[in-house]
Amino acid sequence: QYQQQQQYNNAYPPLGGAPGENDDRASRPPMNYAAAAHPYALPNGNNSAAATNTAYNNSYNNNNNANFQQQPQQQYSTPTQQELNTTSIIRPAVPSQPLPIPQFVPSTDYFDCLFFPDPGMPCRNGANCRRQNCEYAHKETSLTKFLAQLRAAKKSLDVCVFTITCNEIASELVDAKKRGVLVRVITDDEQSLSEGSDIETLRNAGIEVRMDKSKFHMHNKFVVIDNKMLINGSFNWTRSAVLNNRENVIITSQPMLVARFAEQHAMLWAHYDPTRRQVMESLI
């Protein structure tokens, strides 16, 4: 009943102009929502998880990403003429008949989904904590799973994230640097100056950081680990995102997705090279 799941990625830089100006959208997959868990949320049964919001600025100015997973084709009921004529009604797509639960296609690729907020920041003592009424989390959380992936890096951590203020995540990057892992961080220049930013901590640890130096945002939120694992989603690396926000993270070793995001990091890393910027400014 179900076609084999097909995954493809749409990690790309801004279009660079208004519609009609160097516009190559016709050759790109459709851009829909930042994240949609409901199987009927997107046209043609596509689900997406991404850094991008559905805004003009995100399509034409900010650096964002979106990865899509195609779901089986379904039949939908047709809206009535009254609904089509009534702009105040937003009617969700409804299947014309009950649908069975989709069957997963066996795969050797690693895949996991994390959702925030967490019940608390992880306790440093873990299950061995003896403090009464300890407010920290003592069981596995989304953040501890996230940190475990960073801790598993052996060769490289290519980070591309809007903002970093979560000390636990910054500490993992510093520890990776000490282990001999190549850590390269791309972030937004404005956010690097925000209160609680860990960017200077990373730089002081010898980690190279590059920024966009733009009035628009470097809005990506992903990391490629050892060129074998991808972590991507709506999750900014902040304490507030861990404890308060509704966020999502996808972790996958799917080769095509990993490769596309690795290419995007490489492109941005070269684009934000301060030496290149100095040369360009000298030519103006």
The residues assigned a catalytic role are 219, 221, 226
- Contact 117/249 with Cβ under 8 angstroms? no
Query: What is the rounded CA–CA span in Å between residue 96 and residue 19?
Result: 36
SS3 208: strand
What is the maximal distance between C-alpha atoms in the chain? 65
For 160, other C-beta atoms within 10 Å of its C-beta total: 26
- Contact 254/109 with Cβ under 8 angstroms? yes
Query: What is the rounded CA–CA span in Å between residue 183 and residue 126?
Result: 27
The encoded tokens of residue 31 equal 């851009």
Alpha helices in 205-273 (DSSP H): 239-243, 255-271
**Residue in 220, 156, 155, 214 with CA at minimum distance from that of residue 186:** 220
